[in-house]
């Protein structure tokens, strides 16, 4: 790895950093560093697993470099995370039920290296796993209940409004505007490789603005939402199907909670990977959808308005289209936002999202009925 130098917040240059191990020792790990290696499958941050020897045993930590192309103001982001984790911790018990930041040696919750890279560390959540796809409907129900609970717990976060770590993150019309700009430029001459996907995006554009229109009209309230509820951002107990902890808090900020439910539909109601290339297998499974609705409403029904409940199905559709458009935009931009592991992966991701959106469309009336029957079960 490239040689780096450490600059503490004071700006004082300390000593050269030759590898990730030296970054790790900038945090209060309470023992001797054994190893630090790349970890996880997130698309955004650089994540490392840090192993530390302590009291004759071993302790693990997660070390992450915040992606500053995506998050332009890491200090505000870390302020959000500190407030969110402290609030959650004051309301729930169990060391595995909430992310815990590990302080840097100077007491702050991040470390700034000489190249202005921001790093943070978390306690490792032991005995747990995150999955890219669900194995059964219990996991889907659990994940949805966990995110509903997360939203509910943050409903009374004291203090000022959280920082918007990415402005207009789920403003779908704004996402389409970015798409049009990038398409117009076509800087990598890729539009000719994705004419069908471009047409598909354009065909979806009007329908995909539905939730933002309701937000603009004040018909959907602003609440604190997670905003990135794809399935692998919740940890499951490794011996059961129980969801135990919500992770990846970088986008927790004010918005509509509907997108949180929607992203679960996108990632936990389908049997296929996000970049599935056999599009004939991509579909929304109604039994999983029902499990998501049941799980989510079991913890969120108490605070949702009727309009929010009535738009849960729409949220699944909108976020699937929005995410497809984001992947297509990134493909046209030369893959500068989402981490890719092979050529054309963002285009494959886009195609799979649009195939899923078509499957959702085809089952939409049934989805509306499922929500009605679960939400108002006791009234009928």
Applying CB under 6 A, the residues found at the interface with ligand GN1 are 42-44, 70, 228, 230, 233, 248, 250-251, 274, 323, 338
**Could you tell me if residue 118 is left (phi over 0), alpha (psi between -120 and 50 degrees) or otherwise beta?**
beta
Q: Which of residues 192-211 bind ligand ADP (CB under 6 A)?
A: none
Per CB under 5 A, 299 contacts Mg ion: no
What single DSSP character describes residue 231?
A: G
State which of positions 270-299 bind ligand ADP (CB under 6 A): none
User: Which of residues 47 and 363 has its CB atom nearest to Mg ion in the complex?
Assistant: 47
Q: Between residues 232 and 359, which has the closer beta carbon with respect to Mg ion?
A: 232
**Cβ neighbours, 10 Å, residue 107:** 8
Q: Report which DSSP code applies to 27.
A: B
Residue 248 interacting with Mg ion (CB under 5 A): yes
Nearer to ligand GN1, 228 or 260 (CB): 228
* Residue 233 binds ligand ADP, judged by CB under 6 A: yes
Instruction: Report how far residue 167's alpha carbon sits from residue 152's, in angstroms, rounded to the nearest whole number.
Output: 23
Q: How far is the CB of 74 from ligand GN1 (least distance, A)?
A: 13
Q: Residue 40: which of ligand GN1, Mg ion, ligand ADP, none does it interact with, CB under 5 to 8 A by kind?
A: ligand ADP
Stretch that binds ligand ADP, among 117-125, 194-202, 214-222, 305-313 (CB under 6 A): 117-125
Nearest distance from C-beta of residue 220 to ligand GN1, angstroms: 19
Which of residues 110, 111, 119, 124 is near ligand ADP by CB under 6 A?
124
Residue whose C-beta lies closest to ligand ADP: 42
Q: Binding to ligand ADP (CB under 6 A): which residues in 327-346?
A: none
**Residue 27 or 259 with smaller CB distance to ligand GN1:** 259
Q: Which residues 6+ apart lie within 8 Å of 238 measured at CB?
A: 127, 128, 129
Binding status of residue 64 toward Mg ion by CB under 5 A: no
Residue whose C-alpha is closest to residue 110's, from 55, 40, 35, 45: 45
Binding string to ligand ADP for residues 26 to 45, with x set by CB under 6 A, is what?
A: -------------xxxxxxx
From candidates 36, 146, 182, 247, binder to ligand ADP by CB under 6 A: 247
The CB-of-249 to ligand ADP minimum distance in angstroms stands at 8
The interface partner of residue 311, options being ligand ADP, ligand GN1, Mg ion, none and the CB cut-off 5 to 8 Å by kind, is none
Give the contacts of 287 (CB within 8 A, at least 6 positions apart).
137
Closer by beta carbon to Mg ion, 172 or else 233: 233
Cβ nearer to ligand GN1, comparing 17 with 261: 261
List the strands of the sheet with 234-237, edge to edge.
128-129, 234-237, 243-246
**Residues, the chain:** 380
- Backbone φ, ψ for residue 53 (5° rounding): -85, 130
Return the residue matching tokens 């195939």.
355
Maximal C-alpha separation, the chain: 69
Binding mask 30-59 for Mg ion (x = CB under 5 A): ------------x-----------------
Q: Residue 168 burial by CB count (10 A; 0-12/13-18/19+): exposed, middle or buried?
A: middle
Tell me what percent of the chain is helix, strand and coil, each rounded to the nearest 5: 45, 15, 40
323, interface contact from Mg ion, ligand GN1, ligand ADP, none, CB < 5-8 Å by kind: ligand GN1
The size of the interface with ligand ADP (CB under 6 A), counted in residues, is 19
Write out the DSSP string of 89-140.
HHH--STTSS--EE-BTTSSS-EEBTT--EEEEEE--TTEE--SS-SSHHHH
DSSP 173-214: HHHHHHHHHHHHH-TTS-GGG-HHHHHHHHHHTTGGGHHHHH
* Residues near ligand ADP, by CB under 6 A: 39-45, 47, 62, 99, 122, 124-125, 130, 232-233, 247-248, 250
């Amino acid at each position: 790895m490239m040689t780096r130098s450490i600059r503490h917040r004071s700006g004082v240059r300390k000593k050269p950093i030759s590898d990730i191990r030296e970054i790790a020792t900038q945090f209060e790990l309470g023992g001797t560093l054994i190893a630090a290696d790349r970890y996880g499958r997130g698309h955004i941050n650089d994540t490392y697993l840090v192993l530390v020897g302590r009291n004759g045993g071993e302790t693990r930590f997660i070390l992450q470099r915040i992606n500053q192309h995506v998050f332009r103001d890491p200090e505000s982001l870390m302020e959000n995370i500190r407030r969110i984790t402290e609030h959650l911790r004051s309301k729930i018990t169990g060391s595995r039920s909430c992310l815990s930041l590990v302080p840097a040696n100077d007491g702050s919750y991040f470390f700034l290296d000489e190249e202005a890279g921001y790093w943070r560390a978390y306690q490792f959540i032991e005995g747990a796993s995150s999955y890219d796809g669900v194995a059964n409907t219990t996991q889907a129900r659990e994940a949805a209940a966990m995110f509903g609970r997360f939203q509910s717990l943050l409903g009374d976060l004291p203090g000022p409004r959280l920082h918007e770590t990415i402005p207009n993150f789920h403003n779908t019309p704004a996402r389409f505007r970015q798409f049009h700009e990038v398409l117009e430029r076509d800087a990598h001459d890729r539009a000719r490789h994705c004419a069908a996907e471009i047409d598909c995006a354009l065909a979806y554009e009007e329908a995909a603005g539905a939730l933002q229109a309701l937000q603009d009209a004040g018909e959907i309230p602003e609440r604190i939402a997670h905003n990135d509820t794809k399935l692998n951002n919740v940890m499951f107990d490794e011996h059961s199907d129980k969801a135990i902890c919500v992770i990846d808090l970088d986008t927790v900020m004010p918005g509509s909670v509907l997108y949180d439910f929607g992203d679960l539909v996108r990632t936990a109601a389908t049997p296929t990977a996000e970049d599935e290339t056999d599009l004939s297998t991509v579909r929304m499974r109604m039994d999983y959808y029902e499990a998501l609705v049941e799980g989510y409403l079991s913890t969120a029904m108490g605070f949702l308005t009727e309009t929010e409940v009535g738009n849960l199905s729409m949220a699944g559709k909108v976020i699937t289209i929005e995410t497809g458009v984001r992947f297509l935009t990134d493909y046209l931009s030369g893959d500068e936002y989402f981490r890719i592991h092979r050529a054309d992966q963002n285009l494959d991701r886009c195609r799979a999202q649009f195939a899923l959106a078509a499957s959702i469309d085809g089952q939409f009336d049934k989805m509306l009925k499922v929500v009605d029957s679960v939400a108002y079960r006791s009234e009928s």
